[in-house]
Structure 1
Amino acid sequence: MSKKLSSMLIIFIILSVMISCNKNDLLFTKVDLNNVNEEIKSSLSNYYSENGIYLYENGADEVYLFLNGYNVAQGEKSYYYDDISMEVKDKTLVINFSEKYADNYENKEVENRQLYKINKPENIDTIKVFSNEQETHFDAVIVSK
């Protein structure tokens, strides 16, 4: 009886750890730029010509991370974003990603523009962003009504 109980306890602990590890996955979801409403499309389109890291917030308490590496000067490498992750540490939302370069900017598998909806926890008071493990900043914070 005790072996069965201890086995069930171990399984419960493992499941609890797995569930808590997946909570960070719920912080953000990737969104297709073509499937967002016109207000968001219009606001973000103002920044299509400038590569950068953007935070978009509208009056409906929706927050988005917009990563734009689409613009490439002739002869330059294009860059794109990969390994996006978010987590809450204390009262800080920490956003991490890798900035990578591609020789062939016409590569259809490289996503130069990416949009993520952030399910912002209510208990945060700071957002930090890291590119290639180096703290950086948002190029703009876009607030829409």
Structure 2
Amino acid sequence: MKKRLSLIVLMLLLTGCNSDFSFSEISIGNANDAVQEFIEYAEVKNGNYLYLDGEKNMYVFINGIYVTQGNDAVYFSDFNVSAQQDTLNVFINQEYDSDYSNTKLKYQVLYKIKTVEKYDTINLFINGKPVSFDEIFGNEQLIVYEM
């Protein structure tokens, strides 16, 4: 518990007064048509997806809705973003539950990140560990740092 709290405090300090970006969770139904089309393509399998809508808006779609029988369901409990020079870091907490029918848990999430700056690199961290996006759609100029 102390580890998680420390991580949250560190992320808040890193993003504290940074006005170069903002982020929020949005409903899939409230996304624009292009983003909804991207989600329709991506939601057929679990994974981590990035969609770039122009040069300064991006969407992170995390899908864990499909559960293999006998395994715990994956859900997402926290999302945060920090920036360091030309790198944007995306942090997600992923947790597990054996109650597949718990409607309060987020098995699919969509976040919109609005940026002022243009970032050359986007890193994804799940539970503090670096991972890659499964697929990236949109702006071809993006460089993704793969771990």
Specify the TM-score bucket, using the shorter chain as the normaliser. 0.7 to 0.9
Q: Which runs of 5+ in 2 are unaligned?
A: 1-12, 140-147
1:125 pairs with 2:120: yes
Aligned residues: 126
Aligned to 1:76: 71
Q: Which runs of 5+ in 1 are unaligned?
A: 1-17
2:136 to 118, 124, 141: 141
Matches of 1:99 and 1:65, distance apart in 2? 14
1:104 to 81, 89, 99: 99
Normalized against structure 2, the TM-score is what? 0.76
Normalized against structure 1, the TM-score is what? 0.77
1:56 pairs with 2:51: yes
Q: Which has the larger radius of gyration?
A: 1
Matches of 1:94 and 1:72, distance apart in 2? 27
Q: Matched residues, percent identical?
A: 29
| 3-state DSSP of counterpart to 2:78 | strand
Matches of 1:102 and 1:87, distance apart in 2? 28
**8 Å contact from structure 1 (residues 27, 87) kept in 2:** no
Matches of 1:143 and 1:124, distance apart in 2? 14
C-alpha distance 79-32 of structure 1, shift in aligned 2 (>3 A)? same
2:114 maps to a residue whose letter is N
The alpha-carbon deviation at position 59 of structure 1 amounts to 3.9
Post-superposition Cα deviations, 1:47-84, rounded to whole Å, max 9, x if no partner, equal 11211110011347531010111111222211011221
**8 Å contact from structure 1 (residues 91, 123) kept in 2:** yes
Deviates more, 1:34-43 or 1:100-109: 34-43
2:61 to 49, 60, 66: 66
1:30 to 25, 28, 35: 25
Task: Compute the RMSD of aligned alpha carbons.
Answer: 2.3
2:98 maps to a residue whose letter is D
C-alpha distance 76-95 of structure 1, shift in aligned 2 (>3 A)? same
